[in-house]
Structure 1
């Protein structure tokens, strides 16, 4: 199984890039892992909120394959513990999912068409976090989940 981490928005600022790169490298010891930053549409400033979400949705849905298992990060999604995330990843790996895609939406969230396509909606936190920090937290939690699956010392329950 391959873990794909998708995020709508600009490139990472230096203050988070190093951490994201470090945790992504660590995850690749367990699963092939890739980031894809989906650029904001060029005319975003002239679009209404619904139009922008629709344009972003077209880009996202155009990249998905029918076999991708999509986890949409959404404030109204289900919350999981680190152990729950580990179990979820193991379940996906056992089910022979080819690609497990974690998606962070744009500044206004995800269009309903993307949420409807998602196999699962996951709320990382009830807090409002900057998108770049969400990327870092997501990468760290995925690494933590991998260490839990291997019973390694990183996670201390």
Structure 2
């Protein structure tokens, strides 16, 4: 199974880049993992919020295959504990899911078409985080889930 972390926005900022790269490398010990950073549409500042979301939606949907399992990160989504995330990933692997895509939408969220395409909408917290920190938290939590699946010592209850 492949895990793809997908985010709309600029490259990883220096303050989080090393951590994101480290945890992504660690996840690769369990599943093939990669980042797909989709650029903000051209002239985004001149677009209205609905226009921007529409362009971002088109960009996102063209990178998702019909067999991909899409997980949308959204503060209104379902909250999972680290063991529950591990169980989710293990269940997808057992079901021979080819690819899980964890999607971090744009600054204004995503259009309804992306919400409908997502098989799971997941909230990391009731708090709202900057997108750059969400990338780091996401990579770390997926790594943590992988260690839970293998009953390794990283996660402490």
Residue 94 of structure 1: aligned partner: 94
- Write out aligned runs for 1:135-154 (5 A): 135-154=135-154
User: How far apart, in 1, do the equivalents of 2:41 and 2:6 lie?
Assistant: 15
Residue 106 of structure 2: aligned partner: 106
Say whether 1:64 aligns with 2:64: yes
1:26 deviates by 0.2
Give the CA RMSD over aligned residues: 0.5
Structure 1 unaligned spans of 5+: none
Say whether 1:129 aligns with 2:129: yes
Residue 23 of structure 2: aligned partner: 23
1:84 deviates by 0.2
Aligned partner of residue 145 in structure 1, secondary structure: helix
Say whether 1:45 aligns with 2:45: yes
Aligned residue pairs total 157
Say whether 1:83 aligns with 2:83: yes
User: How far apart, in 2, do the equivalents of 1:12 and 1:30 lie?
Assistant: 23
Aligned partner of residue 75 in structure 2, secondary structure: strand
1:111 deviates by 1.2
Q: TM-score, normalised by structure 1?
A: 0.99
Q: Deviations over 1:74-121 (max 9, x none)?
A: 111100000000000000000000000000001001111101110110
Q: TM-score, normalised by structure 2?
A: 0.99
1:43 deviates by 1.4
Aligned partner of residue 110 in structure 1, secondary structure: coil
User: How far apart, in 1, do the equivalents of 2:27 and 2:89 lie?
Assistant: 12
Q: Deviations over 1:49-93 (max 9, x none)?
A: 111011000000011100000000011110000000000000000
Aligned partner of residue 144 in structure 2, secondary structure: helix
User: How far apart, in 2, do the equivalents of 1:115 and 1:3 lie?
Assistant: 19
Structure 2 unaligned spans of 5+: none
Q: Deviations over 1:17-54 (max 9, x none)?
A: 00000000000000000100010001101111111011
